[in-house]
Structure 1
């Protein structure tokens, strides 16, 4: 039996819980003090942490996904078509590393979100202990998170670009989910779960929840379907759907220049970088982890069979993503 140590307010925890549910992998969901203890068992003290049946612990949702794929063959979340598999991995990375900025920004920019989510997150962590203790724990936690805004690029100056990109993604999903529920067929892929993880938090926090209900109501409802898709049976389509093309286009518009600018800053020893898209600026401190993500995408691209590389490259070029692999 696996144990997933996580939190309701963690997009990557929700992503992994939904994957375990869909794949019908027996597991226990654990949060609060046990999650904090589990985080101390891994190199970087972050959640979620997956505790394996043999007692060892591992973290980082993307490696966990691939390890579970090697251990459990049934109900895979990687499309059979190698072109679609590559695209799904790219969209997963885009969601994990770019859409997460919407989650963080919406949560900590405005006072109404700071205050509610600060006490709710403390409530989740403590699971009791008195209102005074919850409020006392929430205050320094909220201040710490707000203080990290500039570090992760979620400033007021940057947020117009983050929000515009998020709305493009939501609009593409809204047009799709009323027609065809999943991205690559009649079953979910790792791309849906990554998108779900981030948007699941927008569906809870006051400001973005109001936006979802007003502008993207079916996407908001879709979140509940992804959260537990254990009853879904289906297969993979042979052709890419328009929503996948729309997501690739947004990744090419925003994520490709973001990754390249960050990698250049790291290579040149700079502690920050700046991009501008559609007249909207974005500035952030440079992060080594995003270079790791870029290199992982490049290794995956290099490993493509010759028989599909041309098709993948044509798709990447169409959406301004080939620059990542040149």
Structure 2
């Protein structure tokens, strides 16, 4: 299938997942045009793909791509040169695991810092009122009030952020930042000397939220200067420059603290969400270092978790042994067979299938 001359990426330049996709497209040197969404374009894209989300990629001849994870997988197949996928099965799995972690775990602290802190919320509500809501026929102060209250309701209150949990949500960012700093002060990228999917998977939140929003950006500059430098480096990275740099073949020792967070926080969280859905519950409880969260279930996250388990279970025995030797919690969490695949409703998970780009897969 031929690549369009220029991809039309519908999104926002302050969006978590738009930033993730833009970083990857820049690295692959795939030309694209960022079409800044307003509410009308958001609805038009949702009508075309069946999902109200960003970014959405307008491909060609009325075809669309949706979901950054599957878009990247598709583009890796279409343009395999300058790949971001490690060749070693163990490293490839870890890169995919860290993409899931970046997408589904860092989302909460990223949105928390943006909307719970006055300075950040004031700035971002102003930008969204001028940008995303520019086509809404209301006075500016009403657009700003509406977006501020909507975002706080959806991304704080409905996502389990309370006085009792706020400090723990902050700690999720700080602990991840410290773990990344330990890696990136030793090497330029997450898994070694060249960028991989692990970098782009963690990039969405680290760039568009933690690097750009005032409060977490100040923390990053002071607490984790190597992470701050990595964010800028990845935005300016051209993958072809690393063609002669071999992919890593061994997990760096420095990545241990980061994978400990994945094992002790992220995987139990994903497992609790999946179990609640399997038992037809709309909410679930999750405890993070003694702090209890009450959260709505997410069918998309359950789908991601089941896909991750399947990927682990099809690894060869030596790769599984290598992972389990270093991180036995991974094998414990991922060995359970996927006996009842989660079917995401169309409102939760409409993915435009890369191979056809006209049908959907779950």
* Aligned mate of 1:238, from 231, 249, 252: 249
Task: Tell me the residue number matched to 1:202.
Answer: 210
Q: Does 2:164 correspond to 1:157?
A: yes
Partner of 1:273: 284
Residues 253 and 320 of structure 1 are in contact (CA less than 8 Å); yes or no, is this contact kept in structure 2?
no
> 1:27-65: per-residue Cα shift (whole Å, max 9, x none)?
222213485243432121100111224541111111111
Q: Aligned with 1:155: secondary structure?
A: coil
Which stretches in structure 1 are left out of the alignment for 5+ residues?
Answer: none
Secondary structure of 1:298's counterpart equals: helix
- The unaligned stretches of length 5 or more in structure 2 are 337-362
Contact 1:69 1:76 in 2 (8 A): yes
- Structure 1 segment 112-191 matched on structure 2, within 5 A: 112-125=119-132, 133-148=139-154, 149-191=156-198
Over 3 Å counting, the alpha-carbon distance change for 1:197 and 1:257 in structure 2 is same
- Contact 1:104–1:154 (CA<8 Å) still a contact in 2? no
Moved more, 89-98 or 277-286: 277-286
Write out aligned runs for 1:245-260 (5 A).
Answer: 245-260=256-271
Distance 1:320 1:237, change over 3 A: closer
* In structure 2, C-alpha distance between the alignment counterparts of 1:35 and 1:90, rounded to whole Å: 32
Partner of residue 211 from structure 1, selected from 219, 233, 240: 219
Q: Residues of 2 paired with 1:134 and 1:218: CA distance? A: 39
Residues 203 and 212, structure 1, Cα contact 8 Å, conserved in 2: yes
Deviation by residue 1:165-213 (Cα, 9 ceiling, x = unmatched): 2212111222322321112222111111121110111122222122122
* 1:288 paired residue among 299, 313, 324: 299
Residue of structure 2 aligned with 1:228, choices 231, 236, 247: 236
Paired with 2:141 and 2:230, the residues of 1 have a C-alpha distance of 33
Larger mean CA deviation between 152-161 and 169-178 belongs to 152-161
Question: Does the C-alpha gap of structure 1 residues 60 and 129 become closer, same or farther in structure 2, counting only changes over 3 Å?
Answer: closer
Tell me: CA distance 1:155–1:235, structure 2 relative to 1, closer, same or farther (3 Å).
Answer: farther
The answer to whether the Cα contact below 8 Å between 1:266 and 1:286 also exists between their aligned partners in 2 is yes
Q: Compared with structure 1, are the counterparts of its residues 56 and 228 closer, same or farther at alpha carbon in structure 2 (3 Å cutoff)?
A: farther
Structure 1 residue 322 and structure 2 residue 329: aligned? Answer: no
The equivalent residue for 1:80 is 87
Distance 1:55 1:245 in 2: 45
In the TM superposition, residue 295 of structure 1 has moved relative to its aligned partner by 0.8
Q: Report how many aligned residue pairs link the two structures.
A: 324
CA distance in 2, matches of 1:29, 1:103: 22
Q: Provide the C-alpha distance between the structure 2 equivalents of 1:198 and 1:22, rounded to a whole number of angstroms.
A: 17
Question: TM-score if structure 2 supplies the norm length?
Answer: 0.82
Residues in 2 aligned to 1:179 and 1:275: alpha-carbon distance in whole angstroms? 34
Q: TM-score, normalised by structure 1?
A: 0.91
Task: Please provide the CA RMSD for this pair.
Answer: 2.3
Q: 1:144 to 1:128 in 2, by over 3 A?
A: closer
